[in-house]
Amino acid sequence: MSNIIHVIIADAQYLTRAGLLQLCASTPSLKVVGEASDAKELLDLAKSKHPDVVVIDYNHPEVFPLDVLVDLKRNSPQTKCLIVTDDDQKGNIFRSLELGAHSFLTKNCSRDEILNALHATAKGEKFFCNKILDILLEKHLNPEPREEDCSSSSLSLRELEIVGLMAKGVATKAIADQLCLSTHTVYTHRKNIMRKLGVNSATELLMHAVQSGLVKDLVTKS
């Protein structure tokens, strides 16, 4: 099986597409299989190429409306979506995540952040840059109390530490190495965390951590 990640770049701006194309071309594990300057081109390409990741800037509603994320999922269900945009409107950010975006970066992010996001997204992992994490957390600094919410106090300090590292996109083995634990122990902690919070996957765990502010202290300390 090939380990090459197939990518489609969808952006209304030629210079952005060219820059991302050059970045991917310089990385052996990435292969751009198409470029799209509007939603129709994107959906046609996704249907024929079935890429692992689509990199898209939705901040051009005349050619890439947010709802294109729904159509993209319909045309190529296995494709993951990485948003790279200069839009910082909180409503749009939350809406894109609700519609199925897996990861979210701003156009101020570094080369390494973009590459890390591409590889994480291809594996089905969530990846947010620090600016987007701040925006997500800001909305939940003073959340309305809800009976069904799990208090962060139900997690141990070690569990909170692991959640914080997961939120930063750190892989399980790297978490184990950083905390001087075995990978088995980290997986056990993850299982216990998900049980306590009532979630069924690492993706749900990350979204809960972001929305509830569980990772706030750890992000602040970093």
Answer yes or no: is pLDDT of 136 > 80.
no
- pLDDT (tens digit per residue) in 22-57: 999 999 999 999 999 999 999 999 999 999 999 999
The whole model's pTM is what? 0.65
- pLDDT at position 148 is 41
Task: Please state, in angstroms and rounded to a whole number, the distance separating the CA atoms of residues 153 and 140.
Answer: 16
Question: Which band of pLDDT confidence, cut at 50, 70 and 90, is reported for residue 63?
Answer: very high
Answer yes or no: is pLDDT of 143 > 50.
no
Closest CA to 97 of 114, 107, 85, 108: 85
Query: Most confidently modeled of 165-169, 176-180, 195-199, 214-218?
Result: 176-180
To the nearest whole percent, how much of the chain has pLDDT over 90? 44
- pLDDT at position 217 is 42
Question: Which band of pLDDT confidence, cut at 50, 70 and 90, is reported for residue 215?
Answer: low
Are 101 and 132 a contacting pair, CB within 8 Å? Answer: no
- pLDDT at position 146 is 44
Task: Please state, in angstroms and rounded to a whole number, the distance separating the CA atoms of residues 14 and 84.
Answer: 14
To the nearest whole percent, how much of the chain has pLDDT over 70? 84
What mean pLDDT do residues 117-124 have? 92
Q: Could you tell me which CATH number the domain at 146-221 has?
A: 1.10.10.10
**φ/ψ (deg, to 5) at 84:** -130, 110
Q: What average pLDDT does the chain have?
A: 83
- pLDDT at position 182 is 84
| DSSP H or E run through 103 | strand 103-106
Architecture label for domain 5-137: 3-Layer(aba) Sandwich (3.40)
Any idea where the domains of the chain sit in the sequence?
Answer: 5-137, 146-221
Lowest mean pLDDT of 39-43, 99-103, 172-176, 199-203, name the range. 199-203
